[in-house]
Chains A and B, each alone.
Chain A
Amino acid sequence: MSEILKVRDLNVKFNSRVGGVFGNTVTKEVLKGVSFDIKEGEILGLVGESGSGKSTIAKAVLSLVPYEGEVVMNNARASMVFQDPKGSLNPSKRVGWLLEEALYLSGEKDKEQRSKKAREMILTVGLKEEHLMRYPSELSGGQRQRVCIGLALIPGPRLLIADEPVSALDVTIQAQILELLKDLQQKLGLSILFISHDLRVVYNFCDRLIILKSGNIVEEGIPEQVYAHPVADYTKELLSSI
């Protein structure tokens, strides 16, 4: 199996200015030399507490933040599913418009094709055509996350980055969304970078996992092995807190 994403020595620093225009610049290192690979068709779990730099890795891979180091995507596109399905859908637009806009931006200029593909996509993510006419506020959290997944799939990505996709949802809905992601992964042969703070969610869902603490990778391996024989103290701590 070949790698779809190769990350080598990834460093991300944030400069923040303290005290207005003439204040000092404070540099904060968020990622300190992170390296990992994602293989084709693999689900990689990325676990860490808040502030550990999980989301920053996602943003760096998508070039949403400036970074140093090497991020090589093997002629593939990446899409992202965000944590808060409410904030990632424009509240003033209908679901159908959002899907068609994504199609338009992905290069589909024909209006009829767009509405046809939007209808197909809404079915792919397990919703009904009637949901196209709804506003995001009229959907449940799980339905909104399904729309977000649909939006992310539209550009035809090979790699899907899911940043805490189920953290804002009820446990039963979590299971449904995870099932949908697994389904899509198998059907489309996607690779998934699954970011979570919850080891329980990751255990059943991921093929391999990475544990991140303050910008460093402290543990890497398949879930069974990590859970049975954790190496790093931090991992033991995390596991004991479950």
Chain B
Amino acid sequence: MKTSKKKNINFILGISVISVMALFILCGKILPLRDPNAIDASLKFASPSLKHPFGCDNFGREILSRVMEGSFSTFLIALGTVFIGTFFGIIIGALTGYFGGVVDEVLMRINDAIFAFPSILLALLFISLLGPGTYQVVIALGIAFIPSFARIVRGEFLKNRNMDYVKCAKLLGASDLRIMVIHILPNTLKVLLNSVLIGFNNAVLAEASMSFLGIGVQPPDPSLGRMLSEAQAYLFKAPNYALFPGLAIILMVLGFGLLSDSFEK
């Protein structure tokens, strides 16, 4: 009873934090703020004020609108990454887990090999092949995320394929595809949802790290990781420059982290 109450609080907190972030991103899209890339030398390192709540950066660009825009692009990149990872992860995991045999053995060993690299390192490798840029980051991170999803889905399919309800469906003449998609897949969703949320967090952090390294979103477009890396040089002169993008990352990760906690069994 006590734990379920705690999970409930996690759920409410998680949803609230995500809603705040969503509202924040939405405001950036709707409100007539300054262009996040507009440079104004007279506003260089302007302190937070009513007119510029988060202050301005080394080019006199408004930090508030840049954080809003940056959060949006980080969110989109994380979403795309998780989508690619989940989509291909489900296909690979379902096929290998359901059919087993040689295909499973080969694909899972490749999976293991990819898994052995940190996903950031792997994404760096793909970036070096594809070149830097927003879409390239989504593809690189997406590919790097496939193995972990494939592994989870495979485990679930492996567990389910020997269960009597699958045999039942087979006896009734259901095709393999029908069994995989209609019968087994819904039973993996609970576990999958959790890993999607955690994967989303990892994707946010991975995107931020890659932009921090300068191979993600390209300047002058804002990105949370990129802003942090630019703010590094002026940490003591203008701490607000690093503070707000950092907060945005923390809130985004915290919200989805709390939500995934509340779904955990």
Within the complex, what minimum Cβ distance (angstroms) separates B174 from chain A?
Answer: 5
Q: Is the CB of B164 within 8 A of A62?
A: no
Is there a chain A Cβ closer than 8 Å to B173's Cβ?
yes
Complex contacts, A21 vs chain B, CB 8 Å: 105
Please pick, from B168, B172, B189, the residue contacting A106 in the complex, using a CB distance under 8 A.
B172
| Contacts known (A90-B183, A90-B187, A93-B186); A79 close to B165, Cβ less than 8 A | no
Q: Is the CB of A90 within 8 A of B165?
A: yes
Q: CB within 8 Å of A: which residues of B? A: 105, 163-165, 167-174, 182-183, 186-187, 189
Q: Is the CB of B167 within 8 A of A82?
A: yes
Complex contacts, B174 vs chain A, CB 8 Å: 101, 105
Chain B proximity mask over A102-134: 1 for CB below 8 Å, otherwise 0: 100110000000000000000000000000000
| Contacts known (A82-B164, A88-B164); A62 close to B171, Cβ less than 8 A | yes
Q: Is the CB of B171 within 8 A of A87?
A: no
Is there a chain B Cβ closer than 8 Å to A80's Cβ?
yes
| Contacts known (A90-B183, A90-B187, A92-B187); A79 close to B163, Cβ less than 8 A | no
Is there a chain B Cβ closer than 8 Å to A84's Cβ?
yes
4 more contacts with CB within 8 A, not counting A62-B171, A87-B163, A101-B172, are A80-B168, A88-B165, A101-B169, A101-B174
Interface residues on A, range: 20 to 34
Q: Is the CB of A80 within 8 A of B187?
A: no
Q: Is the CB of A79 within 8 A of B164?
A: no
Bound together, the chains give a CA A37 to CA B227 distance in angstroms of 79
Complex contacts, B164 vs chain A, CB 8 Å: 82-84, 87-88
Is there a chain B Cβ closer than 8 Å to A91's Cβ?
yes
Bound together, the chains give a CA A83 to CA B105 distance in angstroms of 31
Q: Is the CB of B165 within 8 A of A105?
A: no
Bound together, the chains give a CA A88 to CA B170 distance in angstroms of 12
| Interface-central residue, B168, B170, B187, by most chain A CB under 10 Å | B168
Bound together, the chains give a CA A93 to CA B183 distance in angstroms of 9
Chain B residue nearest to A103 in the complex (CB) = B172
Within the complex, what minimum Cβ distance (angstroms) separates B131 from chain A?
Answer: 38
Complex contacts, A93 vs chain B, CB 8 Å: 186
Q: Is the CB of A64 within 8 A of B167?
A: yes
Chain B proximity mask over A182-216: 1 for CB below 8 Å, otherwise 0: 00000000000000000000000000000000000
Chain B proximity mask over A149-170: 1 for CB below 8 Å, otherwise 0: 0010011000000000000000
Bound together, the chains give a CA A87 to CA B183 distance in angstroms of 13
Q: Is the CB of B168 within 8 A of A88?
A: yes
Q: Is the CB of A92 within 8 A of B186?
A: yes
Bound together, the chains give a CA A105 to CA B170 distance in angstroms of 10
Chain B proximity mask over A66-93: 1 for CB below 8 Å, otherwise 0: 0000000000000110111001111111
Q: Is the CB of A80 within 8 A of B165?
A: no
Q: Is the CB of A87 within 8 A of B165?
A: yes
Complex contacts, B173 vs chain A, CB 8 Å: 105-106
30 A-B residue pairs with CB within 8 Å:
A21-B105, A64-B167, A64-B170, A64-B171, A80-B171, A82-B164, A82-B167, A87-B164, A87-B165, A88-B163, A88-B164, A88-B165, A88-B167, A90-B165, A90-B183, A90-B186, A91-B165, A91-B187, A92-B186, A101-B172, A101-B182, A102-B172, A105-B173, A105-B174, A106-B172, A106-B173, A148-B168, A151-B168, A151-B172, A154-B172
Chain A residue nearest to B190 in the complex (CB) = A92
| Contacts known (A105-B173, A105-B174); A82 close to B168, Cβ less than 8 A | yes
| Contacts known (A92-B186, A93-B186); A105 close to B169, Cβ less than 8 A | yes
Chain B residue nearest to A64 in the complex (CB) = B167
Chain B proximity mask over A214-242: 1 for CB below 8 Å, otherwise 0: 00000000000000000000000000000
